[in-house]
Structures are given as structure tokens and as C-alpha cells.
Amino acid sequence: MTKKRIVHYINQFFAGIGGEEKADVKPEKRDGVVGPGMAFKGQLTDVAEIVGTVICGDSYFNENEAEASETVLEMIKSYDPDIVIVGPSFNAGRYGVAAGAVAKLVDENLHLPVVGGMYPENPGFELYRKHGYFVEVGNSAATMRKAIPAMSAVVKQIIDGNEEVTGYMPKGLRENVFREERGSKRAVEMLVNKIQGKEFTTEYPMPTFDRVDPAPAVKDITKARIALVSSGGPVPKGNPDHIESSSASKYGKYSLKDIDDFTPENGQTAHGGYDPVYANEDLDRVLPVDVIKEMLANGEIGSLHDYWYATVGNGTSVANAKKFGTEIAAQLKEDGVDAVILTST
Amino acid sequence: MVKAIEATGLPIVHMCTIVPISKTVGANRIVPTVAIPYPLGNPELDPKDEKELRRKLVRKALKALETPVTEQTVFN
């Protein structure tokens, strides 16, 4: 078997040109391996050869993207590769974005497979995930020794022509495929296998969520300052901020000063994912303002934050929800809030 | 949202109907509620009883905030 031709894209730092002070160097190409390419060579020597390395300063690439893209693409093309490797770029933001952009260039113009390595939170991954096989690597170059074999394994699978390549972070692409059996039958079979303790392969893996340690308990709730937050869409009548009924892009902040009890005249839900009749009739069913005000009056809680915060948790992206939560928390902390009640529908 | 708020060190109780979702997402203090369209009410009760039901649920939530937990806990 003839060895596959690989071109490797790296930044100025990994090429040994220099650090931040050299981040504005223009693209250049060198025959053979440079820097981490040496380690890839060791892993891939039986099946592939790194014929050339293309190098560009991270700042230069990001500040002159059009020009840099054109030059880098020409340089890669000049080696007539079968596969392109970018990085690994760990959690280096500009390097990740540049490596991702190179992946996109290669994918769209040369239609060649690209293998990269990024820390999942590298912005370059989110931006360019669908243009390459990005292997999850650590957040710094200290993990290089783990990154190289993991990325090489993906390269080998591509060279072997594996139908299903594994070991990379999902590209977030959906592909239409036709199956012999209809969905309902496949689902029932899967369920039966699961019940019998047999093996089954899900067709839609559930997302994994990170965890947060429980915050310490409130010592004395009768002295605590409480805040109300909801993803059930409780808003003042008329939905003044036009919070979307699904896939909300914002949250609202509303004064509790003049509301002791919700009525059909002062509150409604903006949520489009459940029957709104009951919430519109009495919004206390979603956000318990009437009893909280009562508890405030009779001393069951110490005090109440002056506002409630509401969004619609209906198809809302995790990224948005996280952003809303972080922004709301900052305002609560500033006001000396001790604990939060969040209601969901 | 629950997690992003809790990540700042503020204790938070999640009052929701579909407990498995809350658990999957990662809330640490969970109080199960009545139904999706009316988590903190029940239109079939007369208003006085409905408010009492809500009062009990909110008291449970306040109790949850006063309770130290080390892992995801459902307050039934």
C-alpha cells in the first residue's frame, strides 16, 4: 500500500519560531515534519508520511484571515495531500480558531478529511466542529503525549476506510439514512434488549451534563434574603420584553414591589410548551408570589429580592440558559441574596 | 440556569414536575411539584385549598434550602 500523504498545520509556537512576540509571522511551508509532526510521524510511519508542514502566526491568521486563508490553502494544496492534520491546539483560542478555519478551508475547497485536536471549550471547536474530526485533548500542551496517539488513531481509521470513525467529538451534523426497519420497531427492539440486559446501541445519545457542587445550606431561613426565578415563562401581562415562546434568547427582570398576588390582569405566561390556561388564570401557580409575600409579612423568610427573573425554558439552548443563570446570579449577589427558588414547568 | 446560579455559591432549590429532567441536568436540591401547566397549584381545588397546597410546597423548598446536602437530593 502506498503511504498516504499528510500535510500538518501548526502555529509559530509549535514550529519553534517564537511565542506571543512572533504571533504575527506570515504563513510559510517547510517540507517534512516540524515540531509535533515528529511525534505523529512516529505513530503513523507505517501508513502515512507527513510530506509538508504549513506554519502561520496565530495573530497573523486571525487578523488577516482572507489573505492568510488563501496563502495557507495554496501551500497545503502544493503538497497534494490525502489528509490534513491541524494542531493539536489544546485550549489556545487563536490557535484553535486558526486551526478550525484551516479545517474549513480544506473541507470546503479540497474536500479532504481533516483531523484536529482541541480542548472541548476551545472556541475554535464550536465554530468549526463540522469541518473536521476534532479529537478531545487536554487544555494545555502538557498533554501533548496523550493527544498525539488519540489523533493518530483517528487518522489511521480514516486511512483504513472505516465506515464508522470513532474517538472524536461529534461534528454536530445530521445525515439522512434509510433503514430497513421503521423507527417504532427499532425502538421496541432496543427496549426489549435493554430490559433483557442485552446490548443495544442508541440512535440518539443523550447529552452529558456537567455537575456543580451543592452550595452550603442557609443557616436560618427566617433571616435570609430570598429571590424568585423561573423558566416557566411568568411575565407581567402583555409580555413587555417579548420573551419568545420557545428557544428564548433573553430573560426578563420584573419588579415585585407592586404585586402581592397574581391575577389574570397582572400576569401571564410566555411559555409556548404547555397549556397556558391555568397560568394565565393565576400565575401564582407558576411563581408563588402570593405565598412568598405572605411569608415575608409573617417572618417566615427574612427579606425578598425586589425583582423576579423569568425566561422560557422551551427548547432554550444550554448555552443561553447558562448565560442567563450567570447574569441573574451576579445581580442576586450584588443585592445580597442568600438563596434562590427556581420554578420550572 | 439552576447550575449557573449554584456555581456562584448561592444555594438554589429547583421546584419542578419532571424530577428526572432536573436530576439529569444537575440540580442539587429538588422539590417535586404538581403538574407541568400548574407546578404550584391545582385548578381543581378551591382557591383556599390551592393556596394551602402552594404554601406547603414553598415551605418544603425553604426547608430544602436550610438542609445541607452533599449530593442530588429530592425533597418529597
Q: How many CB atoms lie within 10 A of CB A258?
A: 6
Q: Could you list the pLDDT tens digit for every one of the 345 residues in chain A? A: 689 999 999 999 999 999 888 999 999 999 999 999 999 999 999 999 999 999 999 999 988 999 999 999 999 999 999 999 999 999 998 999 999 999 999 999 999 999 999 999 888 998 899 999 999 999 899 999 999 999 999 999 999 999 889 999 988 887 788 889 999 999 999 999 999 999 998 888 776 667 899 999 999 999 999 999 999 999 999 999 999 998 899 999 999 999 999 999 999 999 998 999 999 999 999 999 999 999 999 999 999 999 999 999 987 877 889 999 999 999 999 999 999 999 998
Q: Do A342 and B3 touch (CB under 8 A)?
A: no
In 3D, which of A234, A232, A196 has the Cα closest to residue A313? Answer: A232
pLDDT for residue A123? 85
Expressed as residue numbers, the domain containing B53 is 2-74
Residue of A nearest to B36 (CA): A345
Going by pLDDT thresholds of 50, 70 and 90, the confidence category of residue B8 is: very high
Print the SS3 string covering A172-185: CCCCCCCCCCCHHH
pLDDT digits (tens, 9 = 90+) for B21-68: 888 889 999 999 999 899 999 999 999 999 999 999 999 999 999 999
Residue A199 φ/ψ region, left for φ over 0, alpha for ψ in the -120 to 50 degree band, beta for the rest: beta
Q: How far apart are CA A286 and CA A310, in angstroms?
A: 11
Q: Do A326 and B4 touch (CB under 8 A)?
A: yes
Q: Using CB atoms, which residue from A278, A295, A333 is nearest to B8?
A: A333
pLDDT for residue A156? 97
Q: How far apart are CA A16 and CA A75, in angstroms?
A: 19
Residues 6+ apart with CB under 8 A from B51: A284, A290, A291
pLDDT for residue A205? 75
Query: How many Cα atoms sit within 13 Å of A195 on the Cβ side?
Result: 6
Which chain B residues in 16-75 lie under 8 Å from chain A, judged by CB atoms? 16-17, 22, 24-26, 28-29, 33, 36-41, 43, 50-51, 54-55, 57-59, 61-63, 65-71, 73
Domains within chain A, CATH numbers bracketed: 4-160 (3.40.50), 221-343 (no CATH)
Going by pLDDT thresholds of 50, 70 and 90, the confidence category of residue B76 is: very high
pLDDT for residue A111? 97
In 3D, which of B58, B60, B56 has the Cα closest to residue B73? Answer: B60
Asked if A214 and A263 touch (Cβ cutoff 8 Å), the reply is no
Q: Using CB atoms, which residue from A209, A277, A323 is nearest to B25?
A: A209
pLDDT for residue B62? 98
Q: Is A311 on the interface with B (CB under 8 A)?
A: yes
pLDDT for residue A108? 97
pLDDT for residue A126? 85
Asked if A322 and A254 touch (Cβ cutoff 8 Å), the reply is no
Asked if A339 and B10 touch (Cβ cutoff 8 Å), the reply is yes
**How does DSSP assign A39-69, residue by residue?**
HHHHHHTTTEEEEEEEEE-HHHHHHSHHHHH
Smallest Cα distance from A94 to chain B, Å: 26
pLDDT for residue A158? 96
Amino acid at A95: Y
Tell me which residue has cell 487578523. A63
Residues of chain B positioned with their CB less than 8 A from the CB of A216: 9, 11, 68
Provide the number of structural domains found in chain B: 1
pLDDT for residue A177? 84
pLDDT for residue B50? 97
Smallest Cα distance from A181 to chain B, Å: 30
